[in-house]
Amino acid sequence: MPLGYTLLGFALAATVIANVLFVLCGKAERTGLCDWAKRFVALATASVVGACTYLAYLIATHQFQVHYVAEYTSRRTKTWYLMAAFWGGQEGSMLLWAFWTAMLGLWLAYKGGKNSAKAWPIFGIAQVYLLSLILVKCPFAVPPGAVPADGRGLNPSLENYWMVIHPPILFLGFASTILPSVWAIYGMLHRDWDGWVKSALPCTLFSFATLGFGLSLGGYWAYETLGWGGFWAWDPVENTSLFPWLLLTSLLHGLVLQNKNGSWRKANFFLGILPFAAMFYGTFLTRTGVLSDFSVHSFSSLGNDGFWLILVGVLMWTFIPLGLLLLRNWDIPKRSEKQESAAFLSRETGFAAAGIIIGLIGFFVALGMSGPLITKLWSAKGQAAEPEFYNKALYAPAIGMLLLMAAAPFLTWKNGDAPSAYKKLFPAYITAIVLAMGFTGVGMYLGLRHPAMVLLFAASLFCVIANAILIAPRLKSKGGRLSIGGHVAHAGIGLLLAGLAGLVMFSKHKEGILLIKNQPTEALGYKLTYEGYTMDPFARDNAIRIKVVDGNSQWNAEPHYSYVPWEGKDSPQSNPPAIHHKFWGDVYLALSGEAQEFVDQQDATSSNWLFSLKRGETKTFGDYTFTLMGYDLDEKAKAVLAKHSEADFNKLSAVRMVANVIVTYQGKQTPIKVAVRHEPSAGGAYSEVVEIPGPGGKHGKVILRMLPAPTEKDIKEKQSASEAAVARAKEAGAPGTPAFQQALMKDFSAYNEGRRMQEFATYETLRFETFNAPDPGDAVFVELSTKPLIGFIWVGTLLYTLGGFIAYRRRITEIAGIKE
């Protein structure tokens, strides 16, 4: 749409002008130019906000002439999820990234401090690049051709409230990684070897907390909603978010060291460059299709031009800053000799060791997520790193990190005062050992699995208790409460890893549990009784009701299951699962697999048929004879069609076409009504299955359904296949010759189906299918698992996020105090 392009173009132009003015005012130190530069930053931000608002308007009003709107929304999409459609695809999520970048740029221009005028042009280059990328891959593009009556819609699995909450927070975290990098490059360009740290430290804390919170929400979304039973799978796309977060964490420790004693100058410039470069590298992996075969999260490819544009961004934000660091390498001063060296057992050593270990963890994560690229050097397909790689590689560094987070805060700066630290740590150490012994005893009683987790659990508890000892006395005063951010974050990481150790040690899991209606089944010490559906299986909120008995207590588990129209098919959705919270953890119950696993179970003793009938036509298959007597629309649809109003018809929530079929089985006639339900407002259609007379018993029930009319896409594909079959037959001989007929018979199915597509599309001929199946309400397959100590993980993620924001607040307060 022209307005969208205009707003983005204006934002790009305003950003370029702001860049030029900031450069000029930085050189001449002219306040007036800086004020004008800030105004242009505000104009650029307003233009980006305007573009976002305009896209939201296009989505809300179903402007399907816009390709992005047609691709990710439909008339059936609920208002709440229309918001999620904004960032449901490549182009929209990039615009969300640009929105947060623009807002951060506005903050940097007006609140970034005295050096912001010199730092902003670096930021502006990134904004120019991003806006240029969006103009090339734009959500406002309008393709040629007819405007579709409806859109494809958001993938049903994404129609969830977490889709509304999680991506904006995660993208704020992504966008904020630019700030530490900007300040690091500023420091090298202007030889401000230490001054940049004071500005970068709060920015790094903000990015650490925000990106970490986004990661946590993503994990909880996977656990609570998606139904696969976990919260982290070491998926390459998950790791593209974790990698920058680990680099930010390593940088934090280095910045504190440099702020304290002037050490780590070169290392911090290097670490400061990496988070934004890592984020760009992750963008390259996820948005160019590189990981499409290795991840369930990967976006579709941006195409060849998008591939090269993003690759340019990766190279630009990695190698130009690294080149600048090499250029400045000999000019960066070492720590002054006047600054006294710290003792080996001191807080300085602890911070340095923590930064190195966290950086090492980040390296292993980057190595694993790059596995598909690396292995393609010697393998055609490439291979993703298995979870076992991460588990083994990160085990020892994780324990070392936990011990450092427990002990280092008790050591003093410079001399360390190790004897005093030992005395203060002793209660935490003893308590952790006692609890770990109890943990081991429980593990041995239940059947000890993964004994190495005992050490991880002990180190985690040591970290939690040690930091709790430091937090408690500081809660009494305002100044003390501002100083607990690091300790709260450390305790959160410790609690998270303690929960992980408990989960690995004690969790139990069983898949493929067959539940037959009203027949209790034992699994993992629980008695499960399947009682049926809560409503119609085509209702979006339908669930499977299962009574769970645990000793003297019982509850109803209701994992969701429904058929949702998606891309012209009935797409089975089996989420969210049922989660029952207990004091020790969760009991987790989900459907295992899709409907095909427990609905379309063919019976070898009875035939299944796919056939077509015209009005009045009769066909016989085995013991069955089917006669189509006629078909009709429901009254509401007929009333609308009588008005010849296509617009009113498209507004109908549902239209049922009902076919009257006489089914004769073993000489006995039974009238059957079978229907296809169309949703004009949704652009989808699905069948309402019915049971017909059959042998019963071990043969199962016989199900009849009428197939929806094929979509325009199906018609073209089938007709193309039919034409291709004819073309291949002509190569064997001229039409009408035996050679032609023989060759055509080899592809007869494709030829015949394509030939009849048009009559199927107009319902001149109706298509039917029979299949043997237990009634979907008779039996289901489920998986059951226990999740002990899972609450530790969620509380831990909240604590490290809270700790990051507390520390951010402290640094902002300190800077404000310096200004005053």
What's the rounded Cα separation, in Å, for the pair 492 and 80? 33
Q: Quote the tokens at residue 809.
A: 């607040």
The DSSP 8-state label assigned to residue 245 in this structure reads: H
Strands (E), 741-778: 766-773
Q: What is the pLDDT of residue 603?
A: 35
- Residue pLDDT, tens place only, 445-476: 666 667 788 889 999 999 999 999 999 999 98
Q: What is the pLDDT of residue 820?
A: 38
What's the rounded Cα separation, in Å, for the pair 108 and 101? 10
- Residue pLDDT, tens place only, 699-708: 456 778 787 6
Task: Specify whether the CB–CB gap between 268 and 261 falls below 8 A.
Answer: no
Q: State which amino acid sits at residue 610.
A: L
Where is pLDDT greater, at 255 or 597? 255
**Cα torsion through 144, 146, 149, 154, rounded to 10:** -20
Where is pLDDT greater, at 124 or 151? 124
Q: What is the pLDDT of residue 551?
A: 83
Q: What is the pLDDT of residue 21?
A: 93
Task: Specify whether the CB–CB gap between 40 and 48 falls below 8 A.
Answer: no
Environment class of 72 (CB within 10 Å of its CB; exposed 0-12, middle 13-18, buried 19+): buried
Q: Quote the tokens at residue 654.
A: 């549902």
Q: What is the pLDDT of residue 764?
A: 66
In the block, which residue shows the tokens 């809300």? 60
What's the rounded Cα separation, in Å, for the pair 199 and 124? 17
| Residue/partner pairs of 309-316 with CB below 8 Å, 24 or more apart | 309/132, 309/133, 309/136, 309/137, 310/133, 310/280, 310/283, 310/284, 311/284, 313/129, 313/133, 313/280, 313/283, 313/284, 314/277, 314/280, 314/281, 314/283, 314/284, 316/129
Q: In this prediction, what percent of the chain has a pLDDT beyond 70? A: 83
Q: What is the 3-state secondary structure (H, E, C) of 248-309?
A: HHHHHHHHHHHHHHCCCHHHHHHHHHHHHHHHHHHHHHHHCCCCCCCCCCCCCCCHHHHHHH
What H or E segment, with its residue span, contains residue 694?
A: none
Q: What is the pLDDT of residue 776?
A: 47
Using alpha carbons only, give the angle 343, 339, 249 rounded to the nearest 5 degrees.
65
Helix (H, G, I), strand (E, B) or coil at 335: coil
Q: What is the pLDDT of residue 224?
A: 84
Q: How many CA atoms lie within 13 A of 764 on its CB side?
A: 7
Task: Specify whether the CB–CB gap between 382 and 294 falls below 8 A.
Answer: yes
Residue 596's pLDDT band, with cuts at 50, 70 and 90, is: very low
Q: What is the pLDDT of residue 780?
A: 80
Residue 35 neighbours by CB under 8 Å, 6+ apart: none
Q: How many CA atoms lie within 13 A of 395 on its CB side?
A: 16
- Number of Cβ within 10 Å of residue 183's Cβ equals 29
- Number of Cβ within 10 Å of residue 519's Cβ equals 11
Check pLDDT > 60 for residue 484: yes
How many whole angstroms from its chain centre is CA 563? 22
Residue 237 neighbours by CB under 8 Å, 6+ apart: 282, 285, 286, 291, 295, 297, 298
Q: What is the pLDDT of residue 127?
A: 95
- Number of Cβ within 10 Å of residue 301's Cβ equals 14
Average pLDDT over residues 701-719: 68
Task: Specify whether the CB–CB gap between 426 and 434 falls below 8 A.
Answer: no
Question: DSSP string of 395-461?
Answer: HHHHHHHHHHHHHGGGSPSSS--HHHHHHHHHHHHHHHHHHHHHHHHHHHHH----THHHHHHHHHH
Q: What is the pLDDT of residue 399?
A: 95
Q: What is the largest distance, in Å, between two alpha-carbon atoms of the chain?
A: 106
Residue 635 neighbours by CB under 8 Å, 6+ apart: none
How many whole angstroms from its chain centre is CA 469? 37
What H or E segment, with its residue span, contains residue 666?
A: none
Check pLDDT > 90 for residue 10: yes
What H or E segment, with its residue span, contains residue 652?
A: none
Q: What is the pLDDT of residue 593?
A: 44
Q: What is the pLDDT of residue 683?
A: 46
Task: Specify whether the CB–CB gap between 225 and 576 falls below 8 A.
Answer: yes
Check pLDDT > 50 for residue 70: yes
- Residue pLDDT, tens place only, 542-585: 888 999 998 888 999 999 888 777 666 666 777 789 999 998 89
What's the rounded Cα separation, in Å, for the pair 508 and 785? 5
Closest CA to 703 of 654, 663, 658, 655: 663
Q: Rounded to 5 degrees, what are φ and ψ at 195?
A: -65, -35
Check pLDDT > 80 for residue 656: no
Average pLDDT, rounded, for the chain: 83
Q: What is the pLDDT of residue 762?
A: 53
What's the rounded Cα separation, in Å, for the pair 777 and 282? 44
What's the rounded Cα separation, in Å, for the pair 99 and 45? 8
Q: What is the pLDDT of residue 597?
A: 32
What's the rounded Cα separation, in Å, for the pair 94 and 171? 9
Task: Specify whether the CB–CB gap between 160 and 560 falls below 8 A.
Answer: no
The Cα-based distances of 310 to 43, 114, 236, 250 in angstroms read 26, 32, 18, 26
- Residue pLDDT, tens place only, 78-112: 888 888 999 988 899 999 999 999 999 999 999 88
Task: Specify whether the CB–CB gap between 801 and 213 falls below 8 A.
Answer: yes
Average pLDDT over residues 333-357: 80
Check pLDDT > 80 for residue 17: yes
Task: Specify whether the CB–CB gap between 287 and 134 falls below 8 A.
Answer: no
- Residue pLDDT, tens place only, 232-253: 878 877 888 999 999 999 999 9
Q: What is the pLDDT of residue 222?
A: 86
- Number of Cβ within 10 Å of residue 472's Cβ equals 12
Q: What's the length of the chain?
A: 820
Helix (H, G, I), strand (E, B) or coil at 692: strand
- Residue pLDDT, tens place only, 774-818: 454 567 888 899 999 999 999 999 999 999 999 999 988 887 665
Task: Specify whether the CB–CB gap between 92 and 140 falls below 8 A.
Answer: no
Q: Quote the tokens at residue 346.
A: 């001191």
What's the rounded Cα separation, in Å, for the pair 35 and 24? 12
Average pLDDT over residues 371-393: 82
